Chain A
């Protein structure tokens, strides 16, 4: 059974709790939305991400109190190159939402959300280690999985699968 096509029109989606909350707060922060395969993805502007996360976490009706995952996708060679993805879960309402932030490939930096969810610590370190995205305000931004003196960021698309000797 082929999947139904994604809905990307903001007006059609604005009934969804997380999107409605963000649109009501600041229309400019939302760069687009997509509802595909029963999952809600919202594109958030780079400078707004920390405020958006705090807003969603403290929302009265549908608090997204659990950060499920923080990861990154490398879209090399197209620009903007990196997409940092936040998966949020509201345990109370059993809702999930995905926030996506697009970053340019040249010196990608983003504000850290460790002040909102301390559990983002290791996830952000891993994204820094494997992709090279820096998180400003992170308490201890060092390599997590690779050795400390490793050069390069292995999960980038221009890094070979076999690695370097």
Chain B
């Protein structure tokens, strides 16, 4: 029987359509059908200035908007050859790790809810409220922050921001203990997730899976540690790797990443350097508001950047970061004008979704839901 797990479905985490060919309760073939959220972001980027693309990048992987911002902004800064001051880099790392916690909380809540543990959903979203309030404090927006700019950050963070982040990091490990209390030793959870939807190490690499999907199968590779960017080389953290390759292994990887990200945020708070938050490049970075109101050159630069954009030297760059889902990459091609010639987003989920047939074929129908949740897909990234 061919069954349609349609685009509107509570367990598909977005508008994913999965066409299942089942024989009783066993899945014979599974084929994802995507494209329901395709909005032509890559095409739109070609019609915008470089700084106007930043809000577009938020909406691609909408659960980790700051990571998208970071990846794009790093790519353009590489094209320009800009040097970013250390305070901006450390703040970027801090916010990036808060975003990772944010995204993993949504993953845990929705994944547990799919499998049946409804309490965890509300617990996770309670912590997520704190993080969203932190994002609102720093950028004005809860989700689509667009806080990073080419050359640094948009605004300095408010004065009490670091105290609030510190208060959050103090209580967060006990909350992760709460989630683990509910799930890790729970026999229902282990029966639904251990040995389910396995994928081998070689298959994961061959299919292009990255992030916890790949690390759950034993591949020890994390872009933050192995090919560091934006100051990650200054931070000490462990990269959780599991070997079984099943849903439980990926779950353990991500839950431990929650704890590791919390540790990175604490390190960022402790070692935050002083200094400017924007690079010294008047033709690219907007001047301070006060300077713009009092100095003529600043006003002219402000006007030129907003109305004409800044020209980026010709070339191409592929910048990859470790998003909560895996390797997110931006391939930016510039032709010397103020608008990018081509922006391509390498979506981590698009490659991770290719592991779904390998995981589910030959297994029970109920395991499909667990598998989709464990890959942690975000349709905005897959479809763009």
Q: Which residues of A contact B (CB under 8 A)?
A: 1-4, 6, 36-37, 39, 41, 65-69, 71, 73-74, 85, 87, 89, 91, 94, 96, 98, 117-123, 126, 130, 143-147, 154-155, 159, 161, 163
B-side binding surface: helix, strand, loop or mixed? mixed
B40 interfacial by beta-carbon distance below 8 Å: yes
Set of chain A residues within 8 Å of B316, measured between Cβ atoms: 36, 39, 41, 98
B192 interfacial by beta-carbon distance below 8 Å: no
Q: Which of B42, B226, B317, B329 contacts A68 (CB 8 A)?
A: B329
Task: Write out, one digit per residue, whether chain B residues 219-236 have a CB within 8 A of any chain A CB (1) or not (0).
Answer: 101000011000000000
- Verify B331–A71 contact, CB threshold 8 A: yes
Q: How far is the CA of A41 from the CA of B331 in the complex (A)?
A: 13
Tell me whether A71 and B344 are in contact in the complex, defined as CB-CB below 8 angstroms, given that A2-B313, A3-B81, A117-B208 are known contacts.
yes
- Verify A163–B81 contact, CB threshold 8 A: no
Q: Which residues of B contact A (CB under 8 A)?
A: 34-35, 38, 40, 42-44, 46-47, 78-83, 205-210, 219, 221, 226-227, 313, 315-318, 320, 327, 329, 331, 333, 341-342, 344, 346, 350-351, 353-354, 383-384
Tell me whether A154 and B40 are in contact in the complex, defined as CB-CB below 8 angstroms, given that A37-B317, A39-B317, A87-B331 are known contacts.
yes
Set of chain B residues within 8 Å of A2, measured between Cβ atoms: 81, 313
Q: How far is the CA of A163 from the CA of B83 in the complex (A)?
A: 38
What are 13 sample pairs from A and B whose C-beta atoms fall under 8 A apart?
A37-B315, A39-B318, A68-B318, A68-B346, A69-B331, A91-B219, A98-B318, A121-B354, A123-B351, A146-B38, A154-B40, A161-B40, A161-B46
Q: How far is the CA of A4 from the CA of B208 in the complex (A)?
A: 32
Query: How many whole Å from B263's CB to the nearest CB in chain A?
Result: 24
- Verify B205–A65 contact, CB threshold 8 A: yes
- Verify A119–B209 contact, CB threshold 8 A: yes
Set of chain A residues within 8 Å of B82, measured between Cβ atoms: 1
Q: How far is the CA of A98 from the CA of B346 in the complex (A)?
A: 14
- Verify B354–A118 contact, CB threshold 8 A: yes
Q: How far is the CA of A68 from the CA of B78 in the complex (A)?
A: 19
- Verify B318–A122 contact, CB threshold 8 A: no
Q: How far is the CA of A84 from the CA of B207 in the complex (A)?
A: 19
Q: Which residue of A lies closest to B335 (CB)?
A: A75
5 further interface pairs, Cβ-Cβ under 8 Å (given A6-B315, A36-B316, A159-B43): A2-B81, A123-B350, A130-B42, A145-B384, A146-B35
Set of chain A residues within 8 Å of B227, measured between Cβ atoms: 94
Q: Which residue of A lies closest to B350 (CB)?
A: A122
Set of chain B residues within 8 Å of A117, measured between Cβ atoms: 206-208
Q: Which of A68, A118, A161 contacts B320 (CB 8 A)?
A: A68
Q: Which residue of B lies closest to A2 (CB)?
A: B81
Set of chain B residues within 8 Å of A1, measured between Cβ atoms: 81-83
Set of chain A residues within 8 Å of B206, measured between Cβ atoms: 117-119
Set of chain B residues within 8 Å of A120, measured between Cβ atoms: 208
Q: Which of A37, A66, A74, A98 contacts B205 (CB 8 A)?
A: A66
Set of chain A residues within 8 Å of B42, measured between Cβ atoms: 130, 155
Q: How far is the CA of A120 from the CA of B205 in the complex (A)?
A: 11
Q: How far is the CA of A119 from the CA of B383 in the complex (A)?
A: 16
The residue in B219, B327, B344 that gathers the most chain A C-beta atoms within 10 A of its C-beta is B344
Q: How far is the CA of A98 from the CA of B317 in the complex (A)?
A: 10
Set of chain A residues within 8 Å of B226, measured between Cβ atoms: 91, 94
Set of chain A residues within 8 Å of B47, measured between Cβ atoms: 161
Query: How many whole Å from B325's CB to the nearest CB in chain A?
Result: 14
Tell me whether A3 and B79 are in contact in the complex, defined as CB-CB below 8 angstroms, given that A69-B318, A85-B331, A122-B351 are known contacts.
yes
Set of chain A residues within 8 Å of B38, measured between Cβ atoms: 145-146
The residue in A118, A119, A155, A161 that gathers the most chain B C-beta atoms within 10 A of its C-beta is A119
Query: How many whole Å from B46's CB to the nearest CB in chain A?
Result: 7
Set of chain B residues within 8 Å of A3, measured between Cβ atoms: 79-81, 313, 315
